[in-house]
Amino acid sequence: MYVAVTSGVMALYPFVHNKRIKKSQFMKEITRAEDTLFSASHPHLYKCFNVSKVVLSSVIALMGVATVILPSVLGVSDTFHMILLVVGIVLLLFGIYRLFWHSQEMVYWPTKSIVRSGTLYMDAAEVQRINRMVEKNDFSALERIACKDGGNGRLDYLVSKDGKFVAIQLFQFVPYNYEPVSEKCYYSNDDVAAVIARCFSF
């Protein structure tokens, strides 16, 4: 269960139908160096509280509070009191940290599917290969992405767990920074998204 916490007016992105794949929905946005895939907004992506994570974080915080208070009520020794006080403070801070920074997940709202973000590194040649597919909007030959621990190429991605939404953006290293090679590209509810999503393990 999710509770949406983000609202506001967002720019609507134009959809362009793919001629190669029937009923394909494809969106592009002009990219600036400072405006990346992870910082851009999208009308169907929302930051939501995961209710189970909120409950767990709250329980941890309450355990911390109880651990701080109980030694005074029970009248334990000073040494044990100090140990419980430290443990309680740690639990309280950990619960608060989880509540505000780890209880939210990005969700693709049309299907309520969790969206994972990530970065893959690769050779410049692999970036150019994928970029040609992006420009043609034809990913039929995309069976895998040749990733490395590091490289001159970078691919930022967002992918929903159900494979109904994928967003990618390509970069190439130009001293001393990764510069965008492609636009931010969004694929949703079509065969293209399914093809690209297969390349990412959720």
pLDDT digits (tens, 9 = 90+) for 6-46: 333 333 333 333 333 333 444 444 434 456 788 777 888 88
Q: Are residues 144 and 193 in the same domain?
A: yes
137 vs 187: CA distance, rounded Å: 10
- Tens digit of each residue's pLDDT (9 = 90 or more) over 144-201: 787 888 888 999 999 998 888 999 999 999 888 999 998 898 988 676 777 777 776 5
Asked whether residue 76 is assigned to any structural domain, the reply reads yes
Residues of the domain holding 172 = 16-29+113-197
Asked whether residue 147 is assigned to any structural domain, the reply reads yes
Q: Are residues 148 and 74 in the same domain?
A: no
Q: Are residues 97 and 25 in the same domain?
A: no
Q: Are residues 191 and 145 in the same domain?
A: yes
On the CB side of 154, CA atoms within 13 Å amount to 14
118 strand-pairing partners: 157
pLDDT band at residue 1 under the 50/70/90 scheme:
low
